[in-house]
Structure 1
Amino acid sequence: MHPLTGSIKRYDWGSPDAIPAILGIHPDGRPLAEYWLGAHPSDPATIDGHLRLDEAIKQHPCLVGDSARLEFGGHLPYLMKLLSAERPLSLQAHPNRMDARAGFERENQADIPLDAPERTFKDPWDKPELIVALTQFDALAGFRDPALTSALFSRLGISPVSEQVFAPLRHRGGRAGLAEVFMNCLVLDDDLKAAVTDVVAAAVNHTDDEGELGEFARTAVLLDEHFPGDPSLLAALMLTRHTLQPGEALYLQPGVLHSYLSGTGVEVMGNSDNVLRGGLTSKHIDPSALAQVVTFTTEPIPAMLPEQELPGLWRYPTDERAFVCWRVDLVPGRMIELPGELSGRILLATSGEIGVSQGQDGLVLKHGQAAFLEAGCQAKVSGNGQGFLTATGLDA
């Protein structure tokens, strides 16, 4: 059982005060977007106050457990984060493992430095992810039915010229129609770029409408406020909008196009920093590469509710081999034996206070504090607060 200190990530979309409030630190006015708890070599957490977690695992592979050593080569396969967005993130998707390995090798052979702005594949790993809302959390994720998207654009009252951009949604539909319009939106011809202004101007007239049209219009206006004139705004409007309440989650597999809009949550993902962006950002974008990894389907992505395993222990059901996540709700007098003991685990306290015990050893986590629990050690928790536990999915 080891105290674990995460790495602070400052991106311009982050909230200046939400994560500091959880960590119990004074906000300095700068955006604090993410707090990483993991062993990604680009920014690993610190264990026992001084040692990089990735180096500790290299020195002592038994920390992660036998299953992780066999399947992931001693690599901690998950990354846990606090994430807080005050404004929308980029329009993005993540590669599957095959695409990640190929892209990583390709960019290595091209001698693109890992820290170069134009570098897309930072590692050879895939990046499925689970976002669990701590506050109301708004996101765009997964394609809406093409016929419905076409109808929503038409109901805005856009011009016939703008309608041309979205015509394949009606005429072709399915994957082919989605893919064609998606690429058209990301690389608009000069004579069609006015469609962005046209759509936003029309949307302003419908922001007070109820139902899907009002939500569609408000999303268009929101994105334009932060990224005026960005043609990828039109591609983002092809996605379904989700509003999560605290405790609800979205599970996004590689290839799912998405953009987080606002809110604070706990994010658990494959231990990767591979992001392919198509717009809504000042960072490097690569629409063609993004289109190669995006899954052009309209399969619904429902909000996920956790399943209770014990009083106070709730599991978020995914089939991921890299990770599994539980929410731990503690009240005075309740003690819970933590699952996943065959795996190296990370426990993060998000509110209140959690006492952790392993045999004769004990540790108290106040909100914002975390611990790494090495594989093979039973641990129990008690206290009055809430936390999140992550382990590898192989040993859950």
Structure 2
Amino acid sequence: MEFLAGQPKHYSWGSRSAIPTMFGLPAGDQPVAELWLGAHPLGPALLGREFTAAFGREVGTGVVDLAAHVAGAPERVLGADVARRTGGTLPFLLKLIAPAEPLSLQVHPSIAQARAGFAAEEVAGVPFDSAARNYKDRNHKPELVYALTRFEAVVGFRSPRRILGVLAGLDTPLTRRLAQFVEEQPDAGGVKAAFEWLLSAGSRPTAQAVAEVAAACEVRPAEESPSPRADRIVAYLSQFYPGDPGVVASLLLNPVTLAPGEAMFTPAGTVHAYLSGMGVEVMAASDNVMRAGLTPKHVDVPALLSVLDTVAAPPIRIAPERVSPVQSTFYAPVDDFELSVITLRDASSWTRVRGSGPRILLCLEGAAQIHSAGGVLTMNTGSAVLVEAADAGVELRGAGKFVQADVP
């Protein structure tokens, strides 16, 4: 059992203060969009007994990156079953995520799609660090986000009838054309045709056409709108990405708001964009992203369409199962991860924490001692700990709130 120091990601859409504040630090000069706690090669956490503070600044001896640590003793760290299933790699990636601006409109591939796409780009000789590279690894990227604050997103396609209702009344050439696609084919095929036409290089609308839709959404009275929230999202996105067709694409999608403590699962093939808030995210250990818009990064529409699912579906909210008086677990429908929330109020006694395989625990607030076969450590707000599969019998004693990522 060892402390972990996560690797920060300074993406432009991130908050300058949300994640640093958790570690008792002032806002920095650059955004901290994400903090990665995992073994992914693009940002492995650091493992050691001492760290000066938050993310990636270490002191003391014996510090090693988590990927190397797992590779050195996969059966001890992961357990024999997980090591066999994953080829000796940690199957999940735990993150803090803090979007202060909208993320890109994106989709993640299935395992089969990721393996085929990665192999094709390797054969084609696409450099690994190229902006045009879609597949950074061979894995899928289903993900679950647990809201720490009010968390806004758009996720998955509305039903064709609902799309027509949202577009009605805006009365712009662009919205009339989108409605025509869906009216002529009122199913997932018509929705895909509208989405493809909206984003593809040969047909994508002009910035002026997008601006007309944004203006129409802004002036539509809430009492006359079939979805005032959709109108507000268009206006909000237009502030950051004026003229981007992804602004209009949001009208085709389900808006979702998570209150603190709520969670949502996003499977492969589901188009989505996080808009604002702060949360804990756990996903399969992958960085494969196909982007549709709302980003200055590479957008590959054909690659995105090849993995996109346009069947109408509501956002998948997952209710936790209370597995003990202090622990509730969100079970995602994948074999890569599950997420537990642990709330301690009695610092006078040890409390068993249920879980299996390798675990990463993160202290969201408060403090506690953690005990296992690997020893005893003291966790404070922002502390993270790796518990190896061989470290049986995990117990906590303290007062605070924690999350745990582990393997089913």
- TM tier, smaller: over 0.9
CA spacing shift, 1:356–1:169, aligned 2, 3 Å: same
The answer (yes or no) to whether the contact 2:8–2:34 under 8 Å persists in 1 is yes
The answer (yes or no) to whether the contact 1:10–1:32 under 8 Å persists in 2 is yes
Q: Distance in 2 between matches of 1:212 and 1:308?
A: 37
Q: Which residue of 1 aligns with 2:395?
A: 380
1:345 and 2:347 correspond? no
Q: Distance in 2 between matches of 1:198 and 1:153?
A: 13
Other structure's SS at 2:169 match? helix
Q: Which residue of 1 aligns with 2:124?
A: 110
Q: Which residue of 2 aligns with 1:56?
A: 69
The answer (yes or no) to whether the contact 2:359–2:386 under 8 Å persists in 1 is yes
Q: Distance in 2 between matches of 1:262 and 1:212?
A: 23
> Mapping of 1:169-318 within 5 angstroms?
169-187=182-200, 192-193=205-206, 194-206=208-220, 208-209=222-223, 212-318=226-332
1:71 and 2:85 correspond? yes
Other structure's SS at 1:237 match? helix
Q: Which residue of 1 aligns with 2:59?
A: none
State the shift of 1:189 in Å. 5.3
**Higher alpha-carbon deviation: 90-99 or 100-109:** 100-109
1:356 and 2:370 correspond? yes
Q: Which runs of 5+ in 2 are unaligned?
A: 51-62
State the shift of 1:88 in Å. 0.4
State the shift of 1:43 in Å. 1.0
TM-score normalised by structure 1 residue count:
0.95
**Higher alpha-carbon deviation: 205-214 or 139-148:** 205-214
**Higher alpha-carbon deviation: 1-10 or 356-365:** 356-365
The answer (yes or no) to whether the contact 1:9–1:35 under 8 Å persists in 2 is yes
Q: Which residue of 2 aligns with 1:28?
A: 28
State the shift of 1:162 in Å. 3.8
Deviations 1:77-104 (A, max 9, x none): 0000000000100000100000101111
* Runs of 4+ that moved beyond 6 A: none
1:389 and 2:404 correspond? yes
Other structure's SS at 1:56 match? helix
Give the alignment partner of residue 123 of structure 1, picking from 134, 137, 154. 137
CA spacing shift, 1:143–1:360, aligned 2, 3 Å: closer
Q: Distance in 2 between matches of 1:42 and 1:269?
A: 15
State the shift of 1:227 in Å. 0.2
Q: Which residue of 1 aligns with 2:114?
A: 100
> Mapping of 1:124-163 within 5 angstroms?
124-156=138-170, 158-160=171-173, 162-163=175-176
The answer (yes or no) to whether the contact 1:129–1:268 under 8 Å persists in 2 is yes
Q: Which residue of 2 aligns with 1:47?
A: 47
CA spacing shift, 1:212–1:39, aligned 2, 3 Å: farther
TM-score normalised by structure 2 residue count:
0.92
Other structure's SS at 2:197 match? helix
**Higher alpha-carbon deviation: 271-280 or 181-190:** 181-190
Q: Distance in 2 between matches of 1:282 and 1:192?
A: 17
State the shift of 1:211 in Å. 7.0
The answer (yes or no) to whether the contact 1:207–1:217 under 8 Å persists in 2 is no
State the shift of 1:210 in Å. 7.8
One-letter code aligned to 1:387: F
One-letter code aligned to 2:380: K
The answer (yes or no) to whether the contact 1:34–1:82 under 8 Å persists in 2 is yes
Q: Which runs of 5+ in 1 are unaligned?
A: none
Q: Percent identity?
A: 35
The answer (yes or no) to whether the contact 1:15–1:84 under 8 Å persists in 2 is yes
Pairwise CA RMSD: 1.7
Q: Which residue of 2 aligns with 1:9?
A: 9
Q: Which residue of 1 aligns with 2:181?
A: 168
Other structure's SS at 1:88 match? coil
CA spacing shift, 1:329–1:211, aligned 2, 3 Å: farther
1:37 and 2:37 correspond? yes
Q: Distance in 1 between matches of 2:225 and 2:393?
A: 50
Deviations 1:151-192 (A, max 9, x none): 211123x23564023312122121101110010111265694
